[in-house]
Structure formats: C-alpha cells, structure tokens
Amino acid sequence: MSARTTLRALPTLLRVGFAEAVAYRAEMLIWVLSTTMPLVNMVLWMAVAREAPVGRFSEADFVGYFLATFAIRQLATSWAAWLINWEVKQGTLAMRLLRPISPLWAYGLDSVANFPLRLVVAVPVILLSVALVGAKAVPQHAWQWGFFVLSLVGGWAIAFLANVAIGALCFFLESSERVLEVWLVLFFVCSGYMYPVELLPPTLRTLIDWLPFRYQIGLPVEMLTGAHGWDAAVRLLMAQWAWVAGLAVVAGVAWKQGVKRFAAFGG
C-alpha cells in the first residue's frame, strides 16, 4: 500500500461513508437520542447551583458546560471497536484486507464522513447555548477557537485510536466487547461527561489528568467554554496530543500483531 494509493482512495471512501451515513440517518438519530445524559445532568446541577455557585459554576455556567458536552459528544466519538469485533467474528474483515488500503483508514474515514450530519445536531446546540448563556458560551479570541479545533481533533483521535486498540484485542480474545464496556465506564467517570472534572477533589483531579479520558471530551468542552488561559491551554493540549501519539503506537502494534492471527474460511 503506497501513500499515493491511499491518498487517491480517500475521496471515494469519504463519499461512500457519507452515503452510508445518509442511508442510516435514522440509526444516527437514535444514537443522538441515547447521548442525552448531559442534558439530564444539566438539570440536576442547575438545581444544585440554585442557592449558590458550585466552584466557579453558576446555573448559567452549568447550562453552557453541559450543552457543550452534548455537542462535543456528537463529534469526538468512534465506533470502530464494535465494527472490528463484528467483522472479525463474521469473517468479513477478509474482504477489507484484500483491498490495497489498510482497513484502519476505512474505519477512520467512515467516522469522519459522519461529521456533516453530526454538525447538523451539534451546531444548533452550541447556538442555543449562546442564546441562553451569552457570548461567554463560546471562545472570545481567535487563538481560543484555534485551540478548541485542535482539542476537538485530538479528542476524536483519542476515541478512534482507543477503539482500534480495544477492537484489535478480539484477535487474541473471543471478543473485546467486555474490555470496551470497562473503557466506557471509566470514560463516563473520568472524562468530564457527567460533571466538570475541576469539581473533583485535587487528588482525583491529578489522577484524571494522567488518564486519557478527560482529553477526549472534557478538554474540548473546556476549550469551547473558555475555561483556560494560554499557558494552561497549551499544557493540556500537549498532554492530549501525547496521548494521541501513545495510543497511535499501541493501536498500530495491536492491529499489526492481531491481523497476523486472523483467519477466515468461505463456504
């Protein structure tokens, strides 16, 4: 597989992925409805903050935070682990392996091709946040917008690479879906999806800073809501992209070693 072959195939893979996203738009809508937990948490935390702010969060701040969380959740996500598990079990991965391009490109571009439809959900939510909270719901400076986009791309990369690494475990185990469930539980607890990480005790917050989960959802949300100054934002982005680089190595090695064990038989 040459770089030229890969680059020539990218537009076609994106078109196919977008066509599939449009064809399965009803399933995507169901998935969106299944990610409304931030809206539930928003109501709960607004009630907590009604009498007095919690940390730096007033009622309006919680509205901005959880609407941003809902919007980022639509974008910084991946389902590659489920696809890999299913295709290995069914043996259909063999068809992908016969193509002159790595299946990892197909999995990644399949997710990226969904972005236009997911933006249809995410952008109105962000606009609603601006209407309810005011201009502080979004970055106030150009560099903050740049850092937000960088953190969003990094968050998606962490989600995708972690999914590939976990999905590749199915080459060694009967199924890696249980491992994925454990990952998702840790994600819900440590990512800032259920509550702002900064509300946790300092010891737990320090531990979470060393884990990848916050950098998938929490950091893009914090960048979107302007929670950090320049120095803190740069430090957190460096940590996020260090995780991206580390997970890229782990996912690449796990996939390469796993494919060597793959065998499918046709009838």
d(CA 103, CA 160): 13
> If 0-12 CB within 10 Å is exposed, 13-18 middle and 19+ buried, where does residue 5 land?
exposed
pTM of the model: 0.91
The answer to whether 137 and 130 are in contact (CB under 8 A) is yes
* Region of residue 53 (left: phi > 0; alpha: psi -120 to 50; beta: else): beta
Selection from 79, 69, 158 nearest residue 114 by Cα: 79
Helix (H, G, I), strand (E, B) or coil at 57: strand
Which residues neighbour 236 within 8 Å (Cβ) at sequence distance 6 or greater? 151, 215, 219, 222, 228
pLDDT of 6 = 75
pLDDT tens for the chain, 267 residues long, are 567 777 778 888 888 888 887 887 777 788 787 788 899 999 999 999 988 899 889 999 999 999 999 999 999 988 899 999 999 988 888 888 888 888 999 899 888 888 888 898 899 999 999 999 998 889 999 999 999 999 999 999 999 999 999 999 999 987 888 999 999 999 999 999 999 999 999 999 999 999 999 999 999 999 999 899 999 999 999 999 999 999 999 999 999 999 988 876 654
Rounded to 10 degrees, the C-alpha dihedral 131/129/74/28 comes to -50
The CA-atom distances, in angstroms, between 263 and each of 89, 92, 212, 245 are 10, 10, 32, 29
Enclosing domain of residue 225: 3-265
Distance separating the N- and C-terminal Cα atoms of the chain: 28
Q: What are the distances in angstroms from CA 243 to CA 122, 207, 210, 237, 239? A: 25, 15, 9, 10, 6
> How many domains is the chain built from?
1
Report CA-CA distances (Å) from 80 to 60, 104, 164, 239, 266. 35, 9, 6, 24, 24
Contact 110, 190 (CB under 8 A): no
pLDDT at position 42: 94
Give the 3-state secondary structure of residue 46: helix
Tokens of 197: 């990480």
